[in-house]
Chains A and B, each alone.
Chain A
Amino acid sequence: MTEIAATTPAPVKSGGLGLRQSQFKWLLVVPLIVFFCIFFVIPVGLIFATSFNPSAIGQVAPTADITLENYIRFFSRSNYLMAAGRSVVLGVVVALVTLIVAYPMAFVIAKTRHPGRNTTLLILVLAAMQLDMVIRLYGMMVILGDNGLINQMLLGLGLTSEDAPVQLMYNFLGVVLGLVQFALPFMILTLVGVIRGIDPSLEEAARALGASRRRAFFRVTLPMSMPGILSGSLLVFALSISSYIVPALMGGFRVGVLPIHIFQQVAEGARFQFGATIAVILFLLSAGAIAIYLRVGARRSGGLA
């Protein structure tokens, strides 16, 4: 009897505790929310506000003076519009090239069952992310530069002359190559997760229904990788159009994409207001890409994302 008396209140107590737990667990994300507000929401909000202020050299903080003159300036100057176009083309090209290079690797990693080999492959992919971006880009310069390994080899073979090296960098190609090597691990990791989640019996079912290995891949595996292809491409697109360091180093400031213009307005001209305007437009391009992604994603999965 005493045992029963001691145990009966327990469920009530645990129920009460469970309720309190579900209320308190929101406290766990408070530090994140505070951090996010101070270092992201407020600065981005300030940039938005600043972009509507009249241009005043050296003025950093937003003022109450509202105008659209920065936006009018952006959309009436062809070099800014072309920079925006260049950024979008760059993002799309990098996303496509990265996807084509990354998919086979991701497929191999996802289909490697042996745990040791699988881990080794993943470590190799992650190893590419261990070094700082700048150091990796200097490494690429050693290979691609005007006096780099490739040009020296071509010179040695007598295929080019000293004063006309093959331009592998300081142009659009160099920026693309730099961004692809930067973006590859992100794409591979995104794809591995999705491809690994595809039930192998689906491919087997396709084979048994008469599809060759190739047909089964194109009719089942590839369409089922679509969520990974879409989100990986979106990620790479966003990383590419917002990258400053790669166009700066690999493009040598000759490939005028939006981040280069932002840097020039803010750091060289101290025109924070116009820099902020370009940043807002860059942000809208990314947001537009996300909107397209959600559209396509919803259609791909038959109405339910």
Chain B
Amino acid sequence: MSYVEFQGISKQFGETLAVEDLDISIAQGEFFSLLGPSGCGKSTTLRMLAGFVTPTTGQIHVHGRDITRLPPEARDIGIVFQNYAIFPHMTVYDNIAFGLVERNMTKRDIRRKVEAALEQVGMSGYERRFERELSGGQKQRVALARVLVIEPEILLLDEPLSALDKKMREEMKFWIKEIQRSVGITTIYVTHDQSEALTMSDRIAVMEGGRVLQVGTPVEIYEYPASRFVAEFIGESNLLSGRVQEVTDGRCEIDLGPAAVPAQAPSGAPLSEGSEVALLIRPEMIRLHKVSEDEAPMLEGRIAEEVYQGSLRRYQVETAGQKLTVEVANRPDLPLRSAGEAVALYWNTESGVVVR
């Protein structure tokens, strides 16, 4: 049973349609990400759930209750903003106590809960600090404590890592996920960073132009993208345009011009022969060596460029009229190639995914 349910949600701002006919259901305790480029409607979607924006059409249900027109304070939803929105005129203690004061708790209960919340986020001893005396990561922790202390039904995170430097971001990514798991709170995470979404989420909705393009687990989104946009937005991709030549139960043959290669047929509507499709192969799936004696190369090409990146080497390979990116792990058992060399490209049939 779904816990948070968007039903036919649209939002129009003047002439522009920010969110169009959105249907999403999120399970209790799930870590759900809204992923997309800026202006895709993900923030508007989050703000509709928080109650700062009223949908033009549609309904939002939380735990079976219609909250579409409730004011934010009546929703029992906690939100952490991109800039953390720590109240600068209050101490850390008063910031965290804010929601508890609104709930008319006694001073003693407030003290106990604030102390527990600070402990939970590893910020004990910072009670009397002000916002300007905190680092980015500490503000993040305070913002999260301030929200978790009121024990909301849902936690909303609006690009909470984008204001941090790279190292801090990596650290906080795992820390947030850990806190979320230990509290078990249903979490909706808005981000434009695909690596954050992939590492943290149970499921991801990829959005573009106000629409949801695909909803799925990180594995589904990465390995079986439903469209060219998703394939290109998530991770690095090689997309080869071709034509469907033959379809036989679960397998198909794609004509790429110089050669035809076998591939896995996509789920959903069956492919029709002769239709224009793209074949997606991730750079790390392509090999420059064969794994069995009788493996035949999928394509042949010539190395145009080689870039050394420490743990791996990236090659640009010219083949079938375009350039493919190939990533080869930097291991002693794999052959080294240099620019100008003719190479054969291998990959497992199931690594080639047909994208409509």
Tell me if B99 counts as interface (CB < 8 A to partner A): yes
Would A215 and B132 count as touching, CB distance under 8 A?
Answer: no
Residue interface bits A146-162, CB-to-B below 8 A is 1, else 0: 00000000000000000
Min Cβ gap A193→B in Å is: 17
> Which one of B75, B82, B99 has the greatest number of beta carbons of chain A within 10 Å?
B99
> Which one of A201, A207, A209, A210 has the greatest number of beta carbons of chain B within 10 Å?
A209
Min Cβ gap A115→B in Å is: 14
Min Cβ gap B135→A in Å is: 17
Tell me if B232 counts as interface (CB < 8 A to partner A): no
Tell me if A205 counts as interface (CB < 8 A to partner B): yes
Residue interface bits A193-218, CB-to-B below 8 A is 1, else 0: 00000010110111111111101000
Query: Which of B's residues lie within 8 Å of A, judged by CB?
Result: 50-52, 71-73, 75, 77-79, 81-83, 85, 87-89, 91, 98-99, 102-103, 130, 132, 146-147, 150
Within 8 A of B (CB), among A201-245: 201-202, 204-213, 215, 219-220, 223-224, 226
Nearest to B79 among chain A residues (CB) is A208
In the complex, what distance in Å separates the CA atom of A220 from the CA atom of B79? 17
| With contact pairs A199-B85, A223-B89, A304-B132 given, residues A208 and B78 touching in the complex (Cβ less than 8 Å) | yes
Contact of B83 among A199, A207, A220, A304 (CB under 8 A): A199
Number of residue pairs across A and B with beta carbons under 8 Å? 70
List B contacts of A201 (CB < 8 A): 81-83, 85
In the complex, what distance in Å separates the CA atom of A177 from the CA atom of B102? 40
List A contacts of B91 (CB < 8 A): 302
Would A219 and B98 count as touching, CB distance under 8 A?
Answer: yes
List A contacts of B78 (CB < 8 A): 208-209
Would B51 and A206 count as touching, CB distance under 8 A?
Answer: no
Tell me if A59 counts as interface (CB < 8 A to partner B): no
Would B85 and A204 count as touching, CB distance under 8 A?
Answer: yes
Contact of B146 among A209, A301, A302, A304 (CB under 8 A): A209
For this complex, 22 residue pairs linking A to B, each with C-beta atoms less than 8 Å apart, are A201-B82, A201-B83, A201-B85, A202-B87, A202-B88, A204-B79, A204-B81, A205-B81, A207-B52, A207-B72, A208-B73, A209-B73, A209-B98, A209-B99, A209-B146, A209-B150, A213-B71, A215-B102, A219-B98, A223-B89, A224-B88, A302-B89
In the complex, besides A201-B83, A204-B52, A210-B150, 9 extra interface pairs with C-beta distance below 8 angstroms are A201-B85, A202-B87, A204-B72, A209-B73, A209-B147, A210-B99, A211-B102, A215-B102, A219-B98
List A contacts of B130 (CB < 8 A): 302
Nearest to A212 among chain B residues (CB) is B73
Would A212 and B98 count as touching, CB distance under 8 A?
Answer: no
Would A212 and B89 count as touching, CB distance under 8 A?
Answer: no
List A contacts of B103 (CB < 8 A): 210
Contact of B89 among A199, A210, A224 (CB under 8 A): A224
In the complex, what distance in Å separates the CA atom of A198 from the CA atom of B150? 24
Min Cβ gap A79→B in Å is: 44
Min Cβ gap A61→B in Å is: 52
A-side binding surface: helix, strand, loop or mixed?
A: helix
Nearest to B130 among chain A residues (CB) is A302
Nearest to A227 among chain B residues (CB) is B89
List B contacts of A208 (CB < 8 A): 50-51, 72-73, 75, 77-79, 147
In the complex, what distance in Å separates the CA atom of A212 from the CA atom of B99? 11
List B contacts of A209 (CB < 8 A): 73, 78, 98-99, 102, 146-147, 150
List A contacts of B51 (CB < 8 A): 207-208
In the complex, what distance in Å separates the CA atom of A199 from the CA atom of B72? 17
In the complex, what distance in Å separates the CA atom of A223 from the CA atom of B87? 10
List B contacts of A202 (CB < 8 A): 85, 87-88
Within 8 A of B (CB), among A96-132: none
In the complex, what distance in Å separates the CA atom of A208 from the CA atom of B85? 12
> Which one of B72, B79, B103, B130 has the greatest number of beta carbons of chain A within 10 Å?
B72
Nearest to A302 among chain B residues (CB) is B130
In the complex, what distance in Å separates the CA atom of A201 from the CA atom of B160? 13
Going nearest first, the 5 A-B pairs with the smallest beta carbon separation are A209-B99, A210-B102, A205-B85, A207-B72, A201-B85
Within 8 A of B (CB), among A18-42: none
List B contacts of A205 (CB < 8 A): 79, 81, 85, 87, 146
Nearest to A219 among chain B residues (CB) is B98
